[in-house]
Amino acid sequence: MFKKILVAVVVVLLLAQIPFAYRRYKLRKLGAAIREISAQISTARRAEISDYTGVVHVHSFLGGHSSGSFQEIIDAAKANNLAFVIMTEHTEKDFDTAAMTLKGVHNDVLFVNGNETVAANGDRFLTLPNNLSIAAYPQEFKNWDTPGLNGVEVYNVFSNTRRANPVTAFFDVLWSHRAYPDLLFALYYERPSENLAKWDQLLAHNKLTATAGNDAHANVGLSLHDSSGKTLAGMQLDPYATSFRLVRMHVTTADGKVLVPEQLLDAIKAGHCFIGFDLFGDTSGFTFEVENSNEKKTQGDEIRLDGQTRLLIHTPTATRIVLFKDGSPIVNETGVTTKEIPLTERGVYRVEAYLPQIEQIIGEKPWIISNPIYVR
């Protein structure tokens, strides 16, 4: 009898692994699709525009929550060919973590020093130089009338992944982490629909830049230590090198300028940037612009409506684009690399781009989320 029960338990356990084996198979297909997409992506860019790629919302050993070193962060940024990293250290009562963190150029990467701060009501902000203030964790944010608010973190890696079922995540790690440490994230990545809807609502009355937060801590994993604290064995699930590959901010500026903190922060504040989920392929080269009979503007800008006003969209490879006006989709078209859309109505317009090859494997996952253009 005992032997039969044991056999039944083993069979049940083996059958329970079938979904995870299938999810690993999907990751293999996803990796092949991403390689194909990367081969198709155009690296050409407009001569008059520079696209600087970086990450926002990064923590080190300062302020707790992480043991990550400055050198690990610098090495990960360099390995990912980042132009900038915006540090947002947790605050401490007795010392200034923003003053103590990475700043300036290290190994050809520009570091900007800032804090993640908490208001009396629990609202969290990314507080950066040049009076740049970004609402973090908007699903928990309360006071949207806070003076000086410039942006909203519509996507956060930590907020996304903490919604995962821990049992499912455990078996996914066992099955897939060794072979697909970066792509494993794709199984849990979801469009931040609630945050985007809130942002669209706010855009009716305010100009707010959308940002994505890597919320990189390098503090998730399992390890075994000896009595002296030396690591004997372990598995790091969120090293900086992986976190920096998942989602990035692409900041566009006039070409030919050396990137300095003031220029970078002013461009973000102005909304001259977009969110790229570069895990699925490099989004550099995406442009979202508008022109009328007198001038040409880019995302984050405001323009006057006249009889010749039109939107100009360009993506690095063929995508499905969704154009939103005042929060509602008005265009949904597949196979687009370049698109001109005449405008006859005032409103707030923004774009999301999707990769059909990715959607076929793991469902609807935005590849690009633009900042808005304000047509008045």
- Between 227 and 80, whose confidence is greater? 80
Q: Is the pLDDT of residue 162 over 90?
A: no
Q: Could you tell me which residue, 226 or 208, shows the higher pLDDT?
A: 208
Residue 3: the pLDDT is 76
Report the number of distinct structural domains present in the chain. 1
CB atoms within 10 A of CB 310: 13
Residues 6 or more apart in contact with residue 9 via CB below 8 angstroms: none
Q: Is the pLDDT of residue 300 over 50?
A: yes
In a domain, 5, yes or no: no
Q: Is residue 50 predicted with pLDDT exceeding 90?
A: no
Q: What is the pLDDT of residue 223?
A: 40
> 45: pLDDT confidence band, cut at 50, 70 and 90?
low
Residue 226: per-residue pLDDT: 44
**Per-residue model confidence (pLDDT) at position 165:** 86
Domain that holds residue 132: 10-370
Which of 40-44, 159-163, 181-185, 367-371 tops mean pLDDT? 367-371
Banded pLDDT at 46 (limits 50, 70, 90): low
Which residue type does 336 have?
Answer: V
The residue-averaged pLDDT of 76-97 equals 96
* Encoded tokens for 79: 């390995």
Alpha helices in the chain (DSSP H): 2-16, 18-40, 70-79, 97-100, 157-161, 166-176, 193-203, 240-246, 261-270, 356-362
pLDDT of residue 220: 63
Q: How far apart are CA 81 and CA 78, in angstroms?
A: 5
Q: Say what the pLDDT of residue 232 is.
A: 41
Q: Is 279 domain-assigned?
A: yes
Q: Does the structure show a pLDDT above 80 at 257?
A: no
Rounded to the nearest integer, the mean pLDDT of the chain is 90
Least confident of 114-128, 155-169, 337-351: 155-169
Mean pLDDT of 283-297: 95
What pLDDT is attached to residue 17? 83
Give φ, ψ of 282 to 5 degrees.
Answer: -65, 125
Calculate mean pLDDT across residues 311-333: 97
The pLDDT of 277-298, averaged and rounded, is 96
User: Average pLDDT for residues 76-84, to the nearest whole number?
Assistant: 97
pLDDT at residue 227 tops 60 = no
